[in-house]
Amino acid sequence: MSARRVETSTAATHPRETMSLFGHREAELTLLNAYRSGRIAHAWLIGGAQGTGKATLAYRMARFVLAHRDPLAPDVQAAATLEISRSDPVARHVATGAHGGLLSLERTLNDKGVMRTVITVDETRETISFFGSTAAAEGWRVCIVDTVDELNANAANALLKVLEEPPRRSLFLLVSHAPARVLPTIQSRCRKLLLRPLSAADVIRAAAEATQKPVDDPSLAEAAAAADGSVARALTLLGGDALKLHQRTAALLNSLPRVNPRELHDLGDSLSGSDRAVLGTFIDSVDRWIAERLRSDDANANANLPRLARLAEVWEKIGRAARDTAEYNLERKPLVFSVFGMLAEAIR
């Protein structure tokens, strides 16, 4: 299934403001060692499940490089992590989006104040002028794409042109929720770095820092258990009644192919309104349930091939329906009945 994002509201800060990195020690050392070798690859494709810290790692790397221009300097050679002080001018400028050596490509609001579903070609073409500028020529220039999955076709081609002829002292950090689906021509120009889902303990620590809750707060453990290694998912579940909604949705999904119309009506009513976080929690719960079924069926793929194909097809249909519902603010109850109807048919 192609990567998608239904807008949710969480307590998370933007990755450019996040100084701490939980887990991923091996991945951090891979980047650090590559930099201080003096021969770092100019482009990295940082892949993994959504909410596991890919963008946080990318900004952590960007801050370090921008603060330490010389990879062979003694302080870089002695560094144990990519951490720099929050009070460092580079950290402050990155946090406010005001560092001249860093370009971030991500989805933006359109003229109507609505979040675009893709990163446009016009935004991506900023990389040409950014890397062509003579300002800060003595330092590094870093471009973070969060996420490369959201580049439209023209934008992906525009990025590819810059990757094909990278300027000196340039570094591209491409974040992807589905790295295998990134254009092969882009993949071939990147070194790949895959992040694994975080442990429950790391999710709890990260969520505790983001929410200022004590690490032994029971709600953190509950959210982490349902988050499947994703801090973003845990933070979403901690908001309002999101965890209860997830548990309720999961219980109904586990009863399939039986469907209780009354309970579906009640679930549809609980999704009413324009709160995208609620819709995001529902779709996220469905996504996780389908992914688990696909993994379990994949263990016996030959026997379950037709079922695998049906589930994968339904997953794509649900993704399109969810995006339409979110983008056009459609009624949620028909979506709930459609989702459960398609899934019940797929697993019979």
- Tokens 């950290």 sit at which residue? 91
For residue 230, the one-letter residue type is S
* Domain residue spans of the chain: 15-194, 240-347
pLDDT band of 10, cuts 50, 70, 90:
very low
Half-sphere exposure of 337 (CA within 13 A, CB side): 8
pLDDT at 309: 85
Query: Distance (Å, rounded) from C-alpha 348 to C-alpha 339?
Result: 14
pLDDT band of 9, cuts 50, 70, 90:
very low
More confident residue, 135 or 116: 116
pLDDT at 11: 43
Query: What distance lies between CA 197 and its chain's CA centroid?
Result: 12
Nearest to 31 by CA among 51, 54, 9, 11: 54
pLDDT band of 202, cuts 50, 70, 90:
very high
For residue 212, the one-letter residue type is Q
At 208-251, the pLDDT tens digits run 998 999 999 999 999 998 888 999 889 888 876 888 898 899 99
* Continuous H helices in 9-145: 25-36, 54-67, 74-78, 89-95, 121-124, 126-132
Q: Looking at domain 15-194, does it have CATH number 3.40.50.300?
A: yes
Query: What distance lies between CA 284 and its chain's CA centroid?
Result: 13
- The packing angle between helices 218-226 and 242-254, to 10°, is 40
For the residues 332-342, what does the mean pLDDT come to? 94
At 240-295, the pLDDT tens digits run 688 889 889 999 999 999 989 999 999 999 998 767 778 888 998 998 899 888 87
At 87-126, the pLDDT tens digits run 999 999 999 999 999 999 999 888 888 788 889 999 899 8
Q: Cβ distance 195 to 60 under 8 Å?
A: no
pTM over the 0.85 mark: no
At 19-51, the pLDDT tens digits run 999 999 999 999 999 999 999 999 999 999 888
